[in-house]
Amino acid sequence: MTVIARFAPSPTGRLHVGNVRTALMNWLFVRERGGKFILRIDDTDLERSTNAYEEGIKEDLGWLGLNWDESFNQSHRFPSYEAAANKLREDGLLYACYETGEELDRQRKLQRVQGKPPVYNRAGLSLTDDEKAAFEAEGRKPHWRFKLSGEVAKWNDMVRGEQSVDTSSLSDPVLIRGDGSFLYTLPSVVDDIEAKITHVIRGEDHVTNSGAQIEVFKALSEHLPTFAHTPLLVGKDGKGLSKRIGSLSMKELKEQGLEPLAICSLLGKIGTSDPIEARPSMEVLKDEFSFDKIGRAPARFDEDELLLVNSRLLHDTPYEAVKEHLESMNVGGAEEFWNLIRSNISKVKDAAGWSTVIYSPMPGRIEAEDKAFCEAAANALPDVITPETWGQWTSTLKVDHARKGKTLFLPLRRALTGSDRGPEMGKLLELLGAEKAKARLLGETA
């Protein structure tokens, strides 16, 4: 059997870490099994869906490396959904209801007062043709509900194990609104049947929905996919991300300078038994993926952890992988520069700062109490810098000025780089050169 899974975003906004994690789970599972990954654009909401957001979603997925094998739009498939609705009507499983939102709200409140569950009372099933005609004469348009069996829907979830939903505890779901537009359930089921989706992988907030959807699947076809409901993503404080989701969009993270592989490494490992570390490639992430590793607790997304993963990824990134990026930033230096500074940056754009330190004129940073020492250091520095210079030079200064540790090295680092910390000084001194290093030690701009 060819494994087929899908990611189904609505083009009403850009992708954020929550739905990217769902896309990633589907992609990793499919690629690990050598199957097919489908991108389904859920644009049945014609008023809110835009081409710009659709293109943005595709751009984000491409940037992340989540390529798809096939793509289609639900807005192109309304005839298939109408055909499925007609079949359900003919089978007595889709019935017209005329209650207004206010009437349904009053019904639920009354049921709660009576100690009953707020489940739709199926009044629509008992309406006569005359009653329906009277409602329509008032200007009411029917919404259409699917008649649940009232039995227990069961399935073996790939994350949660054996699951069951008592459909008698659910309201018959509305599949078609009063304006004739489709809600999520029917188009999704029809598409999963026709696309032969073998696995539906999504967040655990859909568990209850799955009970009703399984009955719709069985009413329309013998095809029933396997389900996997993963724990939801929360912030490091354990709270939902909904209020901060805009700042966690792929567009925003890309503009901040985060690497796509770092994002995928974090989202692919939080909430699992694997260590959260930067992976060298999507291929490695794919090979390590297993639903057996996913725990039941919410997955905690921490932006500081993402930055740390991004840093560690760059520490092992070869020059060839960032060469074009550095050139687009007009960053001076080549491979030796990158190899020197990569362990001291969190994002590639941070390289610009170190390029300025090494290749652009700047004054040395010298504290008043270190001025004489730095002048002496400038006079002791040889005119030709070799790989051995730093060790030999600082050993001489240590003896001549009775300095060691921070009192020896920190003034030199500050004078040469303007910072208290940074790359290995021996190699940095080589890139600076003797002339520039001496000038900075003397407090001059060089």
pLDDT in tens, 236-264: 888 887 656 667 999 999 999 999 999 99
CA-based nearest residue to 65, from 266, 319, 307, 261: 261
DSSP state of 325: H
Determine how many CB atoms are found less than 10 A away from the CB of residue 373: 21
Report the sign of the C-alpha dihedral through residues 209, 212, 217, 220, in that order: negative
Residue 217, pLDDT score: 98
Residue 236, pLDDT score: 86
Buried b (16+ CB within 10 A) or exposed e, 337-368: bbebbbebbeebebbebbbebbeeebebbbee
DSSP string, 301-316: E-HHHHHHHHHHHHHT
Helix 371-380 / helix 434-441 crossing angle, nearest 10 deg: 160
Q: With the CA atoms of 395, 397, 401 and 407 taken in that order, what torsion angle do they form, in degrees rounded to the nearest 10?
A: -80
Residue 385, pLDDT score: 97
Average pLDDT of each block of 10 consecutive residues along the chain (446 residues)? Answer: 96 94 98 98 94 97 98 98 98 97 94 93 96 96 97 97 96 97 97 98 95 97 98 88 75 95 98 96 97 95 96 96 91 88 96 94 94 98 97 97 96 97 96 97 95
Specify whether the CB–CB gap between 428 and 352 falls below 8 A. Answer: no
Residue 330, pLDDT score: 85
**Alpha carbons 250 and 302: distance in angstroms, whole number:** 15
Residue 364, pLDDT score: 85
Residue 246, pLDDT score: 67
User: What is the tens place of the pLDDT at every residue in 283-307?
Assistant: 999 999 999 999 999 999 999 999 9
Residue 239, pLDDT score: 84
Residue 331, pLDDT score: 83
